[in-house]
Amino acid sequence: MPLGYNPGRPNTWRSEQSVFAAACDAVAAATVRRAERRPSRFTPERRRRFLDYLWSGMATTKAAAEVGITTATVYQRRRRDPDFAEAMDRATATRSTPEPAGAATDTQWTVFDEHLAVHGVLRQAALAAGIRP
């Protein structure tokens, strides 16, 4: 048990012990303070470019990568900024969802399995079989 520690009594070392208070102040002064707030990487210029990419039909994930931000950043901004959310909605409203491709044939799955067994790479096996990865 530390000297002077009394579990039944509130901790008053700082107010009662000037040496302890001085040590606390020295540690606080030596501690590097964190920056108040890091400037946003999602600048107005990046937002404009991101929305331009969305208007061109690019997927959200790809558009975010093109401007150097994460999709998490995009969706955080979307939650906090109703104008940005509306702009995203307008940009993506004209997108058409492609029709789902038909199921792969038995022959395609056979080629896929054979290629996968030899090379062990899913993407290459799918491409070799003519299946969209």
Whether 21 maps to a domain, the answer reads no
Written in H, E and C, the secondary structure of the chain is CCCCCCCCCCCCHHHHCHHHHHHHHHHHHHCCCCCCCCCCCCCHHHHHHHHHHHHCCCCHHHHHHHHCCCHHHHHHHHHHCHHHHHHHHHHHHCCCCCCCCCCCCHHHHHHHHHHHHHHCCHHHHHHHHCCCC
Is pLDDT at 5 greater than 70 in this prediction? no
Whether 36 maps to a domain, the answer reads no
Task: Say whether both 49 and 73 belong to one domain.
Answer: yes
Does the pTM surpass 0.85? The reply is no
Q: Which domain, by its residues, includes 124?
A: 100-133
Count structural domains, the chain: 2
Whether 39 maps to a domain, the answer reads no
- pLDDT (tens digit, 9 = 90+) per residue, 65-120? 889 888 999 999 999 999 999 999 999 886 655 545 567 788 888 888 887 888 78
Q: Which pLDDT band, with edges at 50, 70 and 90, does 8 fall under?
A: low
- pLDDT (tens digit, 9 = 90+) per residue, 40-80? 788 999 999 999 999 988 888 888 888 988 899 999 999 99
Whether 69 maps to a domain, the answer reads yes
